[in-house]
Amino acid sequence: MFLTVSQSPNLEELRAHIWGFLTSYEAGVGATLPESRKLVILDDVWTRESLDQLMFENIPGTTTLVVSRSKLADSRVTYDVELLNEHEATALFCLSVFNQKLVPSGFSQSLVKQVIGLL
């Protein structure tokens, strides 16, 4: 499951969605957890408070990956990732959107740079 949290998330809705994913249905009350492995990715987490409200600890077989621009205190394992350079960012964007590493002819190079945040 992949969720973007953002600066002003609806934490109750996100928490219910995560719980539904973890229990394989949306009824959070009285649910039993299935025996399976699940990965929850929380992207764009801005505050430790948001993270605390979205974490479900001690659920066997569940791993949570948190992506944040902020250093969130008390993290168990942290990987600092360097920003992509212009060439890498453009190639990744084009691969995702156009299924090729370069901006195709007919598309604006400057528009691509705006989308990936280089302008």
Residue 63 has pLDDT above 70, yes or no: yes
- What pLDDT sits at residue 66? 86
Mean pLDDT of all residues in 103-117: 82
Residue 15 pLDDT > 80: yes
Q: 3-class SS at 103?
A: coil
Task: Return the CA Rg of the chain.
Answer: 18
Has residue 53 got a pLDDT over 80? yes
Q: Say which residue, 32 or 44, is predicted with more confidence.
A: 44
Asked whether the predicted pLDDT for residue 101 surpasses 80, the reply is: yes
Q: Does residue 105 register a pLDDT over 60?
A: yes
Least confident of 28-32, 33-37, 106-110: 28-32
pLDDT band for position 94 (cuts 50, 70, 90): confident
DSSP state of 30: T
Mean pLDDT over 40-53 rounds to: 87
- pLDDT value of residue 28: 47
Give the strands of the sheet with 38-45, arranged side by side: 2-6, 38-45, 62-66
Q: How many CB atoms lie within 10 A of CB 31?
A: 14
pLDDT at 75: 59
